[in-house]
Structure 1
Amino acid sequence: MAARKPPTERQRRLGTELRKMREHVGLSLTEAATMHGTDRTTVSNIESGRFGVSVDRVRVWAANYSCRDRVYIDALAAMAKERRSSAWHWWDEYEGMLSASFLDLAELEHYAVSLRAAQITHMPGLLQHEDYARAVFEEATPPLAPDDFERKIAFRLRRSQVLDPPRLLDCVFIIHEAALRIPFGGRGVARTQLNHLLEQSERPNVKVCVLPFAAGGFPSAASSTCYVRGPVPQLDTVQTDTPVGLSFLQSETHLANYRAVLDRMEKRVLTPGRSRDFIREVVQCL
């Protein structure tokens, strides 16, 4: 079995879940390989995402690991079927031109059941107007080459199609007042962005909640977070932004901690209606 091109984050996740199953029943790689009638290297390569795995093998391995959660197994089987499919997705055209983490994010959003995000200093990527996105990328360090700059803009704007029919991804965006008031691109661009934000907040599948300065301190104040729900809780993912790129977190501890962070933040936000009024007040100040 030949190694394939580098796996996506979603493909690695499938392997990780199979590894978790094996470890849950206390089997070593060698013991699992013997149970499955294969070799240790194959099990290792599948668990790392380097090799694909068939739907039938996912179900057999789950049975061998005494996993009885049918919904969870069905979700993993669906992920295995995706990898073996030759289906093309819009982000594939950017392969080799953008960082793999950008493509992983688009794939994550595409397959998400819903997402909940908290932004402190920037507008959420899915809700950015083109002029605002350009102003944000102009601050990139090191500066982006012209072609790379335009690709990143186009990619960010195209990601927002998950909010449109037929996808209509359900989203909750917590946006701190700081993000509303930092005028990337100047007052004109900031005003355009806030009006765009108001328009997007009227979508039935988009909930925008402002966390005002008056709310005081809050957890995870130094970072932006996106919690993406999978078809089952075991397949949830947390995506965070770091100075060196995107990070994807999947451990049960990370998921529990970030759920708690977002729950605490949501207790301090304004209601969607009051948030829209607050955004309009900020627009009037520009």
Structure 2
Amino acid sequence: MPPSTPLPTVRRRRLGAELRRLRERADLSATEAAARFGITQSRISNIEAGRYGVSAERVRALARIYDCSDEALISALAAMTGERKRGWWEEYREYLPTSLIDLAELEHHATALRVAQVINIPGLLQTPEHARSVFREGVPQLAPHEIEYRVSHRVKRQAILYREAPPPYTAIIHEAALRMQFGGTATAKAQLDHVLDMSERDNVTILVIPFDGTAFPSAGHGIDYFHGPVPHVDTALLDTAHNGALIDASAQLERCRLILDRMESVTLKPTPSRDLVHRIAQAI
């Protein structure tokens, strides 16, 4: 039996989607683009689906064929090519849902991250004990080894906040998430203490929506927003009960940014947010 072809990474799929949008804006079919580029139509289709890699030089050549003059966008797309070594998250692919693999890859490459959570502490801020207790409540129930895979994956994701040049990370957290006592009082207090410790890092901003705050949009959904070098290559992940939904269309991304802006507008400022977290931790 021949070896299976590796699944395309979320980064390669994202690059392919943007190249398809450039082609469609140029009003060219895949067949017409292939003829101008001197390759087969199936090759164009596979590049756009993320099944085939493409070099930075070929990205720039395609941009010329598509009459794209946005140098910032072209440079951002070119920067998404050339990675031959797969990331650490690939070792989890056969054990975890694809959405979690995609999440780790998106976080790794983001120039900045902005997340909003109402019921849960954001994953990059969770302690292992808190994460383990959250996964134990999963439906359907996870086996012990499945829980440990997820905890290990979550902890490895957090390394991006500690690297030499970490991305700016803004976490919008509702007071409800701070008061959920997953794992009991000791685990809950340790979790809040960890949030306080993380809030002292220069690259981390914690903003809390208090119970007595005003209404805000999308109250039932978590959002992870991954900034790229230019807004065209941003990506968002909507957290749902069934799976994560990736968003990369410009109109949808704009809507996500507006939602996050409105949520942030009803948060406490960083210092009062930290004071509220401290008060909740002291009351446990």
**TM-score, normalisation: structure 1:** 0.95
State the SS of the aligned residue for 1:81. coil
Gaps of 5+ in 1: none
User: Relative to structure 2, which stretch is displaced further, 271-280 or 237-246?
Assistant: 237-246
Is 1:78 the equivalent of 2:79? yes
Contact 1:36/1:61, CA 8 A, preserved across alignment: yes
Q: Aligned equivalents of 2:93 and 2:44: distance in 1? A: 27
Partner of 1:192: 190
- Letter in structure 1 aligned against 2:26: V
1:100 CA displacement: 2.3
Asked whether the 8 Å contact 1:8–1:100 carries over to 2, the reply is no
Q: Alignment partner of 1:115: what SS?
A: strand
How much has 1:243 moved relative to structure 2? 1.7
Higher mean C-alpha displacement, 127-136 vs 30-39 = 30-39
Please list the CA deviations of residues 8-61 of structure 1 after superposition, one character each: whole Å capped at 9, or x if unmatched: 111101100000000001111111111111221111111111111122211111
Question: Post-superposition shift, 1:97?
Answer: 2.1
- 1:285 Cα deviation from its structure 2 partner: 2.0
Aligned to 2:223: 225
The whole-number CA distance in structure 2 between the counterparts of 1:95 and 1:219 is: 33
Spell out, residue by residue over 1:148-200, the C-alpha distance to the aligned partner (whole angstroms, 9 max, x if none): 11110011011100000314221110000110111111222111111111001
Give deviations 1:207-251, integer Å, cap 9, x for gaps: 001000111311110100011101111010111111222221000
Alignment partners' CA distance in 2, 1:55 and 1:162: 25
Q: Aligned ranges for residues 117-266 of structure 1 at < 5 Å? A: 117-266=115-264
Q: Which residue pairs with 1:52 in the alignment?
A: 53
Runs of 4+ with deviation above 3 angstroms: none
- In the alignment, which residue of structure 1 is the partner of 2:18? 17
Q: Which residue in 1 is equivalent to 2:35?
A: 34
CA RMSD of aligned residues (A): 1.4
Which of 94, 107, 123 is matched with 1:96 structurally?
Answer: 94
Correspondence 1:61 to 2:62: yes
**Corresponding residue number in structure 2 for 1:275:** 273
Identity of aligned residues (%): 45
Cα separation, 1, equivalents of 2:51 and 2:210: 45
- Aligned counterparts of 1:71 and 1:81: Cα–Cα separation in 2: 18
Shift of residue 127 of structure 1? 0.2
Measured after TM superposition, the shift of residue 88 of structure 1 is 4.3
Matched AA of 1:193: Q
SS of residue paired to 2:82: helix
Equivalent residue letter for 2:60: R
Question: How far apart, in 2, do the equivalents of 1:283 and 1:135 lie?
Answer: 18
Confirm or deny: 8 A CA contact 1:33 1:40 kept in the other structure.
yes
1:122 partner letter: N
Shift of the alpha carbon at 1:255?
Answer: 0.6
* Structure 2: unaligned runs, 5 residues or longer: none
Counterparts of 1:111 and 1:89, CA distance in 2: 11
Distance 1:88 1:37, change over 3 A: closer
What's 1:6 paired with? 7
Work out whether residues 3 and 50 of structure 1, in 8 Å CA contact, stay in contact via their aligned partners in 2. no
CA distance in 1, matches of 2:86, 2:21: 29
Deviations 1:62-112 (A, max 9, x none): 011011112211221121212xx2x24222222322222212111111110
Contact 1:177 1:213 in 2 (8 A): yes
When normalised by structure 2's length, the TM-score is 0.96
